[in-house]
Structure 1
Amino acid sequence: MTKEETVKLISSEGFEFVIDKKAAMVSQLLRNMLSSPGSFTETADGVVNFPDISTTILEKICQYFYWSLQFSSGKETEFHIEPELTLELMMAANYLDT
């Protein structure tokens, strides 16, 4: 996989998640950031920092991106969310327009 096919998402604690660009495009916010015609750093570097999203929540969001791709291709499985993560996860999902 080439650098152009991946995106690096960085949590508030500095943990880096390298995911497929196709998976990241599940988020409307990331789609806009990564494919804008302007000269944005995110578009050029493929790196997005999330200073307000914890590592635990960002990891779950990345898992959701991949699950969403599988679900849209016809593979129906459940996506489990731990109850203690629900509120934080909903706020992050709202921010990411996911």
Structure 2
Amino acid sequence: MTELPLPRPRAARQPEAQPPTVAIALFVGFVLTAAFVGLTAVIIPGVLLMVVAGFGMVLLFVLQYFLWAKWLYPIVIKMEADSLTASSLSTDNSQPENPESHP
């Protein structure tokens, strides 16, 4: 009887890379927006100033986020915990002792 060739071991299949559709869409959107603003700025020069002001507002928002969320929020939480601890200690110390408990 003739022997059939044994099947080759299958190579591990590498997952296919996903196409960068989100990056392409963001880039196309940015190019179209820049082109529209550029064409509008030729007609109305104040539009470019409004775009610069918008970028400035976004920059201020990002700076405020990092200032409050990353740096100041842990400090505020620690101060709140300290004040709660201090107030609980002061309420424990301010309670009058029961005169009947001491002879």
Same fold by TM-score greater than 0.5: no
Larger relative contact order (Cα-Cα within 8 Å, sequence gap ≥ 6)? 1
User: Normalized per residue, which structure has more helix?
Assistant: 2
Higher strand share: 1
Greater Rg over alpha carbons, structure? 2
TM-score between the two structures when normalised by the length of structure 2 = 0.22
Q: Provide the TM-score with structure 1 as the length reference.
A: 0.23
